[in-house]
Homo-oligomer: A and B are copies of this chain.
């Protein structure tokens, strides 16, 4: 029991704290949490917008009959032509919606009750967002790189030499989404750090 009391007494060094403060985050970490959520919101929204407006039309010469000269055809590249980009868009919309809702929830619960239950739900959903965003980024990056380099083994030609603007804009969207997934990762680390800080005292 002695060691228990030792831990118990050093459980929270701040004076005048109530039970809500004990189960919640210290003010500094709580502010970091809020900032990270807003950053994640901005990054996912911007990533979705950059990808959503991404399209490019190019005049491409196509050889229909080998003996006749090539015919110029207007070819268009749109984000929803590739399922990996569709997944990236859906993932960013889900993540931005969640970032907005969780920001409001964290703000609203700052002086409210039932912080532990809320913290549990938010922590689980943060992890879910990391999984969704990282898999979406991996998918979009794999297809993006294939577009830039192509692959001779499967005879998939690169398309970014033609649709350069489209590829660059998709790359920007992927980088923004990648930063957002790192922000959500930092949020989980922050939650773990909060609990560890409590125990370490």
Contacts and interface: CB of A to CB of B under 8 A. Distances in A.
Contact of A189 (B9, B87, B127, B200): B127
Contacts of A120: 192, 196
B22 A199 contact: yes
A14 to B, nearest CB: 9
Contacts of A124: 189, 192
Contacts of A145: 83
Interface string A125-162: 00100110011111111110111000101111101000
A181 interface: yes
A27 interface: no
Contacts of A140: 138, 142
Chain A facing B: main interface SS: helix
Nearest to A131: B134
A154 to B, nearest CB: 5
Interface in A149-193: 151, 153-157, 159, 181, 185, 188-189, 191-192
A75 to B, nearest CB: 9
Interface of A: 1, 3-9, 11-12, 15, 17-19, 22-23, 66, 77, 81-84, 87, 116, 119-120, 123-124, 127, 130-131, 134-143, 145-147, 151, 153-157, 159, 181, 185, 188-189, 191-192, 195-196, 198-200
